[in-house]
Chains A and B, each alone.
Chain A
């Protein structure tokens, strides 16, 4: 009873959060736990791009952007707590960087009318804007990734994967299970055998799965991993001398921290990506000048230019563009979350616009509409050069196989619409 009194008293203090008239984009980040190393870099990139806009352009349309951070530790319950504690502050959009938290938030944001932007993760069928009015997952999703990986392998094998064996090593969670159905359909279409190897999160234990790979000798390994699972998997692959160039990770398995610990043995490892790599883009000069040198970078700018930093920055770029679009449409700089949703639906990031931002050829063109919330789904393949310690892009943006994906997306989103009682719009 005493404890209750104390919490009520302190609760009164915490309810009194200040409300400022800025554009609020909460950063539901995680810098602790088994995924903390990856989450940290992403969150830094996300914060720094908005800092750059504030410092260089005075915000977006004259309004400063605030990115209050909340630590989720990749845990769904903490994610819900973070969402509830920030949504009252005028939050415009959420980007929780976790498929589990995304699933929690999808029904909530629809009720609260706040957009959810989940680039490259989250619920794949949210691409169908007819059912998922408030969710956006452009430029690519998990099923696009699976399809682009298979397309790449088709190219390598002269268009024929008949009789080949492909193993899918995946994080045994909603995230890792997402590509299974796509790969099963693709295996029927192209005639390869699919071996599914789940790894329980967080993923340090995977000896038995790699023993099975050594025994089964699959031609290729596709990996859907995240956090500590990636480094462990690449190390295990090196231990059984699996040819690195035959291993393709999804974009969440393709950052520096995944390959650097393995050293020279990781040379040749491939991964997908839906954006450019390295710091050879003009925006990084501005970033250096306006954010890093004045000491305004998140965590001192120690990760600037890493793959995950760039991905966090790219997510911020798309959100900033959507805000700009929403301001144009609404005719006011002080937009609401609902107006931002309209901005997302009218989003059109052309290659020219990307060049203007300082990121020429960084991402695919993103053109969204009422029924397409996922963009084109194009992705590229990158390869790790262990000697130079850098990723090299080895393909152009490749379009996924919509013939396989479109029916799957329709089926899954219709099932959700039926379950949740949603009438499709558009």
Chain B
């Protein structure tokens, strides 16, 4: 019903190759963007911004980053938390060193710094792959967190080793610090998420992305047909770390406002983002958003239903919540091992063939 395609013909390759080839899909996408940019900022309050939408957008950026590396280029990584920490500490050092520079610029520079660090830790990928690479990136995770805990220069010699985001502005609007309004926080993260998702989508369907996918599917065959594994793998690490660095910078500066390396960027962060892309769908930009939504919004939703609505004790609710989220992860992976993105795609196909799907 929803996806009648009658009359939706393509007459050029350009039309056929677009991101949303079905007209209704395209309109839906524009409608969602319009709501996200024009309606939500007017109605958002600080609970929705700080507890729901801002973390969702930030984790979606991190998930896109990891998806580029693991989903598109096939390089398994457990270093996400460490790279997010690089983004956070880079933006902190930049914020305190250059107070006058617009914060959005500093966040982008923090992403570039993370990209450089990511390439350094991506070097082992030229020799090793699979589980061995996962262990090498795990080393990056532990090393980076240890470094930010150990060297006082990174946290400006503060007594406790915590970093605090001072107030920084963009066009006169506070983007970080306690005076930031909910719409400002939300819009900053939304703009980053939309622009980065657009960049990622277009990178992955162009030459660069095809090289990544060739390496992922069979590196030796890719090399024979002329893909340079060195540039392909290192560019995947660079782009992926850039995204993850920006997510880390936003997490620290816009969302939390203070962070501690081992608590905010521990190994759990790496697993969380990895679960997001596995559940959302490897090699899919929509999947990154779906996975982030699943793992960020569902626990908040369950907490609100179990504690606020049903009045359960908080500890019981917390344990039940873990069990429900865990069970749902297993359920989704059994029903559709390719994640929510594939599930969504199948639903769409069935709708298009309605009433006789096969």
Chain A residues packing against B (C-beta within 8 Å): 1-4, 7, 10-11, 13-15, 17, 29, 31-32, 36, 40, 69-71, 73, 75-77, 80-81, 84-85, 88, 99-100, 103-104, 106-108, 110-111, 123-125, 172-175, 177-178, 180-181, 198, 200-201, 408, 412, 415-416, 419-421
Per the 8 Å Cβ criterion, residues 135-162 of B in contact with A are: 149, 158-162
Contacts A177-B159, A200-B262 given: A32-B305 contact, CB under 8 Å? no
Question: Do residues A32 and B319 form an inter-chain contact, with CB atoms below 8 A?
Answer: yes
Binds A, one of B42-50, B77-85, B238-246: B42-50
Question: Do residues A104 and B160 form an inter-chain contact, with CB atoms below 8 A?
Answer: no
Q: How far is the CB of A337 from chain B (nearest CB, A)?
A: 15
Q: A4 to B31, alpha carbons, bound, how many Å?
A: 13
Residue B177 lies at the interface, judged by CB distance under 8 Å to chain A: yes
Question: Do residues B317 and A71 form an inter-chain contact, with CB atoms below 8 A?
Answer: yes
Which DSSP category, helix, strand, loop or mixed, fits chain A's interface? Answer: helix
Q: Which of B159, B256, B318 contacts A124 (CB 8 A)?
A: B159
**Total CB contacts across the A-B interface at under 8 A:** 139
Chain B residues with CB under 8 Å of A412's CB are 158-159
Question: Do residues A3 and B305 form an inter-chain contact, with CB atoms below 8 A?
Answer: no
Chain B residues with CB under 8 Å of A10's CB are 301, 304-305
19 chain-A/chain-B pairs, Cβ below 8 angstroms: A1-B28, A2-B344, A7-B52, A7-B297, A14-B304, A36-B315, A40-B315, A71-B315, A71-B318, A76-B258, A77-B256, A84-B46, A103-B162, A107-B257, A110-B178, A111-B178, A111-B179, A177-B159, A420-B177
Q: A110 to B300, alpha carbons, bound, how many Å?
A: 25
Residue B164 lies at the interface, judged by CB distance under 8 Å to chain A: yes
Residue B96 lies at the interface, judged by CB distance under 8 Å to chain A: yes
Q: How far is the CB of B180 from chain A (nearest CB, A)?
A: 9
Chain B residues with CB under 8 Å of A198's CB are 149
Q: A283 to B111, alpha carbons, bound, how many Å?
A: 57
Q: How far is the CB of A199 from chain B (nearest CB, A)?
A: 11
Q: How far is the CB of B316 from chain A (nearest CB, A)?
A: 9
Chain A residues with CB under 8 Å of B11's CB are none
Question: Do residues A77 and B314 form an inter-chain contact, with CB atoms below 8 A?
Answer: no
Q: How far is the CB of A131 from chain B (nearest CB, A)?
A: 13
Question: Do residues B159 and A70 form an inter-chain contact, with CB atoms below 8 A?
Answer: no
Residue B330 lies at the interface, judged by CB distance under 8 Å to chain A: no
Question: Do residues B160 and A419 form an inter-chain contact, with CB atoms below 8 A?
Answer: no
Q: How far is the CB of B161 from chain A (nearest CB, A)?
A: 5
Question: Do residues B301 and A31 form an inter-chain contact, with CB atoms below 8 A?
Answer: no
Question: Do residues B162 and A174 form an inter-chain contact, with CB atoms below 8 A?
Answer: yes
Known: A31-B315, A76-B256. 13 other contacts (CB 8 A): A3-B340, A13-B304, A15-B47, A31-B314, A69-B307, A71-B314, A71-B317, A80-B255, A99-B160, A107-B178, A172-B149, A416-B164, A420-B167
Question: Do residues A84 and B50 form an inter-chain contact, with CB atoms below 8 A?
Answer: yes
Question: Do residues A104 and B178 form an inter-chain contact, with CB atoms below 8 A?
Answer: no
Residue B112 lies at the interface, judged by CB distance under 8 Å to chain A: no
Per-residue interface assignment for chain B, residues 272 to 316, with 1 indicating a CB less than 8 Å from any chain A CB and 0 otherwise: 000000000000000000100110010011011101110001110
Residue B263 lies at the interface, judged by CB distance under 8 Å to chain A: yes
Q: Which of A3, A13, A174 contacts B290 (CB 8 A)?
A: A3
Q: How far is the CB of A165 from chain B (nearest CB, A)?
A: 22
Q: A400 to B167, alpha carbons, bound, how many Å?
A: 35
Residue B248 lies at the interface, judged by CB distance under 8 Å to chain A: no
Chain A residues with CB under 8 Å of B300's CB are 81
Q: How far is the CB of B209 from chain A (nearest CB, A)?
A: 24
Question: Do residues B314 and A181 form an inter-chain contact, with CB atoms below 8 A?
Answer: no
Question: Do residues A103 and B262 form an inter-chain contact, with CB atoms below 8 A?
Answer: no
Per-residue interface assignment for chain B, residues 79 to 101, with 1 indicating a CB less than 8 Å from any chain A CB and 0 otherwise: 00000000000000000100000
Chain A residues with CB under 8 Å of B315's CB are 31-32, 36, 40, 71
Chain B residues with CB under 8 Å of A80's CB are 50-51, 255-256
Q: A10 to B48, alpha carbons, bound, how many Å?
A: 13
Q: A69 to B313, alpha carbons, bound, how many Å?
A: 8
Question: Do residues B260 and A173 form an inter-chain contact, with CB atoms below 8 A?
Answer: yes
Chain A residues with CB under 8 Å of B158's CB are 412, 415
Residue B264 lies at the interface, judged by CB distance under 8 Å to chain A: yes
Q: A7 to B48, alpha carbons, bound, how many Å?
A: 11
Chain B residues with CB under 8 Å of A75's CB are 263
Contacts A80-B256, A419-B164 given: A11-B52 contact, CB under 8 Å? yes
Chain A residues with CB under 8 Å of B164's CB are 103, 107, 416, 419-420
Residue B55 lies at the interface, judged by CB distance under 8 Å to chain A: yes
Residue B32 lies at the interface, judged by CB distance under 8 Å to chain A: yes
